[in-house]
Chain A
């Protein structure tokens, strides 16, 4: 409760540094930025660990209140975005897959289609695009909602009622976003692979649907499924952590909320790219 927030949000140093006079020397300015970034990483890391701890420790606490909240977040970060992802899958199929299939067919390299699709769509574009879209749609809403709740004193009100704000406000968002991104990525991959073939078919590419999907199935291995699940869950977990951290991290004024939302989205993008880089290394190593 108060302990959790106090541990996670010990940002006095960050606030002091952020509001201190900007040094004149460019080296000092660079050092200041670097130091702020490190403190931010430390805060995010602490917040992530505390949230994980609360998920494990308070599993099953207040089910009657928490289950509807988790369902609501899954709906918000998953089900509600399905129409948008249907459109994105069509667009991705047309823009990337249809043209790739067509181009490979032109040079007689349709044998490489399966592995190209797996690398481009399954490993990279599907998860990353999903993460970015969910960050933009739901992550921003997270920062604004939590920042407003913080500014209006709702977090203190929760503490006064003996309700852990991390459990009540953060845990449903983390679970909802992790499951939402995982499910939407699968949906986007399947949708774009199918629509991509349809667009290629319309361009008279000499490839039967059976051959197309057989190639893709042969190019996939168990590691792709395992790493896809891990990667999308990591995207969801860390996007939720970054956006919730910035929404709740400090007592905000209402006028600060929009500025903090911009910072959270920027850091969310950076975190997604870093996670992606880690998984590329994992693919290369394994």
Chain B
């Protein structure tokens, strides 16, 4: 066990270097010093290939920092194994594109973590899954396979799968990527509800971290911002600090895409 003195931070990275999933010898972000406190909503912005996903996977304990340390709920992610399963399950992770299990239906995808980790009887597990599918407006698609659905619904299912075990920290990798306008709006509002305290969590506020390559949709609400640029991780603070930042990367991330301005 690598448990040390309890830290108020949910995620705490100290001088962490982040390597990629495909090549552990390749460092994409260096010297990350970052703390996420309970109830905060962080938006980590960066261009494509800037290391956003790898940073998030490191924060989830799925990748190890190549240098420095990463603690989640006070537990060093180096030691994340069977014995730390309880800590691990306090973290929910939504991958870019969902990464649903293609052989399972939507309901089975959502039910899998619950049935595997909690070993609940089928009837009890089904009732819980149905409730969550209803919250997420996924009931009509419960018996569809991921391949037969649009990206909007797949992303929503991935979110439901991450929420089924009621985590305390939710990490979302580019959650707005590829979503239609209506679904983007729904997701932004839903994430705000989660931060404030949603009925699914008995009104308990959730800590959230999202990554994005476009800062503009995230300007509203009580959020904190950080930016990844050329291997550097910079904490910006609130939206007003983002707007006043002279960081070139921030200006790029705030700029209208070329297609939108034409």
User: Could you list which residues of chain B lie within 8 angstroms of chain A, going by C-beta atoms?
Assistant: 21-22, 24-25, 57, 60-62, 80-82, 85, 88-89, 93, 95, 97, 99-103, 112-113, 115-117, 119-122, 125, 161-162, 165
Give A160 to B60 CA distance when docked, in angstroms.
Answer: 8
Q: A65-B116, A159-B62, A164-B82 provided; 19 other pairs, C-beta below 8 A?
A: A1-B85, A2-B62, A64-B121, A64-B122, A64-B125, A65-B112, A65-B115, A153-B95, A154-B102, A156-B62, A157-B95, A157-B100, A160-B60, A160-B162, A161-B116, A161-B161, A162-B85, A163-B112, A163-B113
Q: Is A286 an interface residue (CB 8 A)?
A: no
Do B119 and A63 touch across chains, with their CB atoms under 8 A apart? yes
Give A65 to B111 CA distance when docked, in angstroms.
Answer: 10
In-complex Cβ contact of A2 among B81, B97, B120 (8 A): B81
Top-9 shortest CB links A-B: A160-B93, A157-B99, A153-B99, A161-B113, A62-B116, A65-B116, A162-B88, A3-B81, A65-B115
Give A208 to B185 CA distance when docked, in angstroms.
Answer: 82
Q: Which residues of the partner chain A approach B99 to less than 8 Å between Cβ atoms?
A: 152-154, 156-157
Q: How many A-B residue pairs have CB under 8 A?
A: 76
> Secondary structure at chain A's binding surface: helix, strand, loop or mixed?
helix
User: Could you list which residues of chain A lie within 8 angstroms of chain B, going by C-beta atoms?
Assistant: 1-3, 12, 62-65, 145, 148-149, 152-154, 156-157, 159-164, 168, 251
Do B24 and A12 touch across chains, with their CB atoms under 8 A apart? yes
Give A153 to B161 CA distance when docked, in angstroms.
Answer: 15
Shortest distance from the beta carbon of B27 to any chain A beta carbon, whole Å? 15
> Secondary structure at chain B's binding surface: helix, strand, loop or mixed?
loop
Do B89 and A162 touch across chains, with their CB atoms under 8 A apart? yes
Q: Which residues of the partner chain A approach B60 to less than 8 Å between Cβ atoms?
A: 160
Do A156 and B25 touch across chains, with their CB atoms under 8 A apart? no
Shortest distance from the beta carbon of A151 to any chain B beta carbon, whole Å? 11
Shortest distance from the beta carbon of A163 to any chain B beta carbon, whole Å? 5
Give A63 to B117 CA distance when docked, in angstroms.
Answer: 10
Q: Which residues of the partner chain A approach B122 to less than 8 Å between Cβ atoms?
A: 64
- Report if A168-B21 is in contact (Cβ < 8 Å); known contacts: A157-B95, A159-B62, A162-B85: no
Give A145 to B102 CA distance when docked, in angstroms.
Answer: 10
Do B95 and A163 touch across chains, with their CB atoms under 8 A apart? no
Do B101 and A154 touch across chains, with their CB atoms under 8 A apart? yes
Do A251 and B22 touch across chains, with their CB atoms under 8 A apart? yes
Q: Which residues of the partner chain B approach A162 to less than 8 Å between Cβ atoms?
A: 85, 88-89, 113, 116-117
Shortest distance from the beta carbon of B219 to any chain A beta carbon, whole Å? 29
Give A69 to B21 CA distance when docked, in angstroms.
Answer: 28
Shortest distance from the beta carbon of B7 to any chain A beta carbon, whole Å? 22
Most B C-beta atoms less than 10 A away, residue of A1, A149, A157, A164: A157
Q: Which residues of the partner chain A approach B95 to less than 8 Å between Cβ atoms?
A: 153, 156-157, 160
Do A64 and B119 touch across chains, with their CB atoms under 8 A apart? yes
Give A251's nearest chain B residue, CB to CB.
B22
In-complex Cβ contact of B21 among A62, A148, A156 (8 A): A156
Do A12 and B113 touch across chains, with their CB atoms under 8 A apart? no
Q: Which residues of the partner chain A approach B125 to less than 8 Å between Cβ atoms?
A: 64
